[in-house]
Amino acid sequence: MNITETIAKELTPGNNLPSFKAGDNITVYYTIKEGDKQRTQFFKGDVIQRKGSGATETFTIRKISHSIGVERIFPINTPLIEKIEVNKKGKVRRARIYYLRELTGKKARIREAR
């Protein structure tokens, strides 16, 4: 491990987030600041990918809202994420499941891991 990775590891706050991977259905509760007010909003969908490592790690969530696909990218180490709930563990054979973007209806479902 080089010195930049060591310093980045010390500076990132330790989040107590659950373990999840591509194919899992999760709910992310995050804080939105509007002027001097703030509120909590949630985004529920399937994890398409996890990318990066250490302080620069991100994950992408996809959901269907009013028959339109919506994707959102969250950094893992942001203080705006309050909590993450894993709703279902999915069974997929890829680390990045971009093929869901072209699928609709029942074909876009992910089987649940038992």
Condensed to tens digits (0 to 9), the pLDDT of residues 20-78 reads 999 999 999 999 999 999 999 999 999 999 999 878 899 999 999 998 999 999 999 88
Domains and CATH numbers, the chain: 3-104 (2.30.30.790)
Closest CA to 55 of 77, 80, 71, 24: 77
With contact defined as beta carbons under 8 Å apart, do 61 and 41 qualify? no
pLDDT score recorded for residue 46: 96
pTM: 0.83
